[in-house]
Amino acid sequence: MTRNLLITGAAGYMYDPDLPVWSIQNTLTNLFSAVDVANERAAKEAVLENEIDIILHTASSHEPHIVSHLIQALGQRRKITGKETYFIHTSGTTAFAPEAGWPSEEMKDTDPIFEAEKQISANHPIQLTDIQVIEEGKAHGVNTFIVVVPAVYGRGTGECKTLSIAFPAFIRASIKNKLVHRFDKNGSPAAAHISDITALYGLLVEQILLKMPIPSGEKGYYFAVAHKTSSWDFMQRLADRLYALGLVEEPEPHTWPSDELAAQSLGVPLQIVRIMGTHGTNLVPVNAYKLGWQPQWNEKMLLESVDDEIQAAREADS
């Protein structure tokens, strides 16, 4: 039986046709559709008219109304067909940093994350959206999963978007300013190569298609943390390589003179710019590894691939 999959947002970036999951005995038909997910009517029509059973949502991690539209549509699809429907939501590790009010102690994705998010969510949009996913899924009988994605690097292989946001933003700002900047506080953000993220999504979809009993709902968190990296080490490596290429004037990073200038240069809101550059997370993936996830990239490989990151960002802008 064919099951149709809708990928919102980063379809081109996330898609890897070489993953076995995409051809499991013709049980999956990929549908890359230009859906206005912010429009409730358009989102529901896309799901129902295209007979979507699985949504991989990467378009936004911080807009609860969008996930509501999509999950409600999957709920209607389930009522019509009597078949299970599935919603895979992409969250972000910045919501799980002490700077965002998250506890500083180590936490596994098998711990009661949902309860913790409900206690501390306050006005944090990513946490509020996570909660909305689970509660909306429960209300409409839709199986939900939350994949918590860190800073992603590497070049995607799909037809659309090929780069993530964070690392290219630092590269572009450095080239524009002719100087690499870092924050006055070091960070240790979680990170992962796009191929490792794609592999995890592929494993999750594969388990869904095989109807395996995997954690979902309140227990369905999956930390996609392949490794951590030092923000200062990355900025130093970036300064070394950009200087060698003649793209910046000095081989040493400077400290941002203000958060306002950092936000303006990086093109991100002022309220999150320091978290972007200084946060650290203490998240331990367990559910992800139980799926069979084996990330191939580490911090050393990231630092060694900075030239590739620079080239990818420059080519994307050309």
pLDDT tens across the length of the chain (318 residues): 677 888 887 544 454 444 444 444 344 555 545 566 777 888 888 889 888 999 999 877 888 888 999 999 999 999 999 999 999 999 999 888 888 888 878 999 999 999 999 988 667 888 899 999 999 999 999 999 999 999 999 987 765 567 777 899 999 999 999 999 999 999 999 999 999 999 999 999 999 999 999 999 999 999 999 999 999 999 999 999 999 999 999 999 999 999 999 999 998 888 788 888 898 888 999 999 999 999 999 999 999 999 999 999 998 877
Let me know if 204 is exposed, middle or buried by CB neighbors in 10 A (0-12, 13-18, 19+): buried
Q: Which residues of 142-167 are buried (b: 16+ CB within 10 A; e: fewer)?
A: bbbbbbbbbbbbbbbbbeebbbbebb
What's the pLDDT score for residue 296?
Answer: 96
What Rg do the C-alpha atoms of the chain give, in angstroms? 20
Name the residue with tokens 């070394």: 240
Query: In the prediction, which pLDDT does 131 show?
Result: 95
CATH number for the region 3-317 comes to 3.40.50.720
DSSP 8-class letter at 219: G
Q: Is 113 exposed, middle or buried (0-12, 13-18, 19+ CB in 10 A)?
A: buried
Pairwise CA distance, residues 175 & 77, whole Å: 48
Q: How far is residue 130 from each of residues 2, 6, 125, 194, 312, measured CA to CA in Å?
A: 29, 19, 9, 22, 31
Please state, in angstroms and rounded to a whole number, the distance separating the CA atoms of residues 102 and 223.
Answer: 15
What pLDDT is stored for residue 158 in this prediction?
60
What pLDDT is recorded for position 13? 47
**Which among 235, 273, 241 is positioned nearest to 255, based on CA atoms?**
235
Residue 22: per-residue pLDDT: 44
Distances from the Cα of 63 to the Cα of 31, 120, 132, 155, 271, angstroms: 23, 18, 9, 26, 17
pTM: 0.89
DSSP class per residue in 89-121: EEEEGGGGSGGGT--SS-EETTS-HHHHHHHH-
H helices of the chain, where? Answer: 11-14, 40-49, 64-81, 113-120, 125-140, 166-177, 194-209, 231-244, 259-266, 270-278, 287-290, 299-304, 306-317
Provide the 3-class DSSP secondary structure of residue 175.
helix
